[in-house]
Homo-oligomer: A and B are copies of this chain.
């Protein structure tokens, strides 16, 4: 289905997905091409071509329809000729090794499963991302976007995917926590309460409920949640950073001493911003499918699109998503008693 590992990464880009599509998306692709990445644009050909600057040529695959941001994800099923379906179809056809979309993330998940199927042993794919922790480690979050009303067995699938992702990124024995509003067993909403019993049966190092502040301080390596709460969590991090920056600036305004201090701190603060800013990180990875799909932010500007292409290229070159799929497959084969995590969606 996908090119053999080691083949040069080719990124299929949904040119119509995103708040500022196709203009911002095509501009990001042009920047990525200039940086040496190989990109195929997918979308309404005349509109996409009109966004290309004179003298710049990129391959375009025509797709007459679009799944809009406010469409139900299932629209991806009906719209076989949509840009997101054709973007992922390029992987199935062996013409691309990875894909990027900044459009409807639920539709991207559906389209990925429709075009490529799920990886063996995967119940429900998930979108994963990572954040720096206060103790210097990395926190892997899964799901952060598509499954807003999961059943408990979906959280078991996210736990397996998050565990495999962290191990693939070099964490030897990831501590997997269940995102909750209290650490005691019995805390959490209904789904969290019921998921506990499933997670403790999985072949992972399950550490129980973890509150977000403890997770950021280092209580776990993987944080499992429904896609609604996970998405709120990462956008709260973004908002807190913006709020702290504005607040610190306001305090600094009043003091010459603080102003001088802020100037001297600027390089350190910029390094922090780069680590936290989704524009610099590019997007989140869809896990549990056979090939890398990067889900970019709906508000992606050209810089963010370029970073998302870079992430897809990296994942493709290193076989990241394939390694996660293999790890989940191995983990589910080792528990043949049939956990809920093995149900199909």
Contacts and interface: CB of A to CB of B under 8 A. Distances in A.
Interface of A: 69-70, 72, 131-136, 145, 148-149, 179-182, 184-190, 192, 211-217, 226-229, 231-233, 235-248, 250-252, 255, 257-258, 260-269, 271-272, 275-276, 298
B267 A255 contact: yes
Contacts of A212: 232, 235-236, 238-239
Chain multiplicity (copies): 2
Contacts of A239: 134, 212-217
Contact of A227 (B181, B190, B255, B263): B181
B69 A184 contact: yes
Contacts of A250: 136
A258 B132 CA distance: 20
A206 B218 CA distance: 38
Contacts of A233: 232-233, 236
A182 B18 CA distance: 13
A181 B228 contact: yes
Contact of A189 (B131, B148, B181, B236): B148
Contacts of A133: 243
A318 to B, nearest CB: 25
The 7 A-B pairs with the shortest beta carbon distances in the complex, nearest first, are: A261-B264, A216-B239, A251-B268, A261-B265, A134-B246, A213-B239, A70-B184
A275 to B, nearest CB: 7
A18 to B, nearest CB: 13
Nearest to A192: B228
Contacts of A271: 251
B232 A70 contact: no
A265 B247 CA distance: 12
